[in-house]
C-alpha cells in the first residue's frame, strides 16, 4: 500500500472578532470547519484557497497571510492531510450563489462560541488554526512559492 498525504487548504476569515465557518455534512452529522478543500491539478495553493472559500461560502476574499502548515492524520480513517492555512479578509458576499453540495450553510462565530461546541468541530485543526491566527505570527504570502 502506498502512503500519500492529501494536500488541502483552509482559510481563516475574520470580521469584527467573528470567524466565517461552514457547516458541512460528514458521516451523517453537521460539523464546523473553515472553508477548506483539496488542491486540484494545475492550481496554486492561493488559487485553491480562493476557490474553496468562494465555493463553500459564497464570499470573495483577499488573502492576507499564511497562518501555518499542518500535518494531521484523521483518527476516523487514518488519512494524512497536509493543510496550508491562509488568513483572509472578506470582500464581497454573493448571497445568491449556490454552495457546494455537502455544505449545509455558513455562520460567523466568535472564538468563544466555537470553543463551546467541541463536539461539532470537523477536527482539532478548526480551533487550532484560529488560535494560531490570533496568537501569530502571521507569515507573508511570499512564503508560498508557486
Whether 63 has a pLDDT exceeding 80, the answer reads yes
Question: Any bridge partners for residue 65, and if so which?
Answer: 87
Whether 7 has a pLDDT exceeding 80, the answer reads yes
List the domains of the chain with CATH numbers: 6-140 (3.90.79.10)
pLDDT of residue 79: 87
What cell was used for 104? 449545509
Q: With cut-offs at 50, 70 and 90, classify the pLDDT of residue 146.
A: confident
What cell was used for 142? 511570499
Amino acid at each position: 500500500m502506498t502512503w500519500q498525504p492529501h494536500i488541502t487548504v483552509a482559510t481563516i476569515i475574520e470580521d469584527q472578532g467573528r470567524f466565517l465557518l461552514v457547516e458541512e455534512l460528514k458521516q451523517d452529522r453537521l460539523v464546523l470547519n473553515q472553508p477548506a478543500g483539496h488542491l486540484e491539478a494545475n492550481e496554486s495553493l492561493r488559487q485553491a484557497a480562493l476557490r474553496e472559500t468562494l465555493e463553500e461560502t459564497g464570499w470573495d476574499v483577499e488573502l492576507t497571510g499564511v497562518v501555518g502548515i499542518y500535518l494531521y492524520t484523521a483518527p476516523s480513517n487514518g488519512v494524512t492531510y497536509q493543510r496550508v492555512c491562509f488568513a483572509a479578509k472578506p470582500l464581497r458576499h454573493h448571497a445568491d450563489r449556490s454552495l457546494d453540495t455537502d455544505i449545509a450553510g455558513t455562520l460567523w462565530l466568535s472564538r468563544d462560541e466555537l470553543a463551546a461546541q467541541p463536539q461539532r468541530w470537523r477536527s482539532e485543526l478548526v480551533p487550532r488554526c484560529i488560535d494560531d491566527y490570533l496568537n501569530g505570527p502571521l507569515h507573508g504570502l511570499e512564503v508560498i512559492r508557486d
